[in-house]
Amino acid sequence: MSRILKDYPSVSLKAEDLVGTLDFGDIFGREGPVHIEIGSGKGTFLVSQAGNFGDINFLGIEWARKYYRYAVDRIGRWGLDNVRIIRTDAASFIAEFLGDESVECFHIYFPDPWPKKRHHKRRFLCAGNFEQLLRCLKVGGEIRIATDHAEYFEAIQETIVRFGDRVEEIALPATAGAIEGEITGTNYERKYIKDERSINTIAVRKIR
């Protein structure tokens, strides 16, 4: 028998309740550095990372309702007060509700590659969205990316090159939940490693 998933109002943000630029101090009830994960899935990264870095405020964005509900339940059961998650379209949310230079780090692990050429326009990591990420990042802030899709990774690299005067490439550190041989410690990474797929990673820091 499957577990009944609970909603935790202290964890879940409702897109319909948002008005204007987010005040992270109000959302988390405290000030502190903000990390945002785009595509949180079932919350594996959020739970492990937030549990190990209590001084950081983590916000997850997930579109798939079934994964979002699972993540809310998971975060709530762990009693993590430095995590919030919202079910919404990431690109629209970032453009409409995130303030300039308000975020320390974006984590984007295994985004949907939309492999068919006619669907490439749906990919999150495009020039327009990358511009928005840089707008929201503080100087010194980071974007950390991992994907198993080689062609998408090449496209991501080409996009980053276009912003070469504003970012510098840095090493991508392993997350708190990663075990030996892993980088992100996410469910997708573990699945892809088991399938013997190559994992491509890149991270950049905003320099201006």
Residues classed as catalytic: 112
**d(Cα 151, Cα 128) in Å, to the nearest integer?**
19
Q: Which of 22, 165, 14, 166 is nearest to 95 (CA)?
A: 22
User: What is the per-residue burial (b if ≥16 Cβ within 10 Å, else e) of 126-159?
Assistant: eeebbebbbbbbeeebbbbbbbbbeebbebbeeb
The one-letter amino acid at 188: Y
E strand or H helix at 60: strand 57-62
82 neighbors 28 (Cβ within 8 angstroms): yes
Residues 132, 107: Cα–Cα separation, whole Å: 14
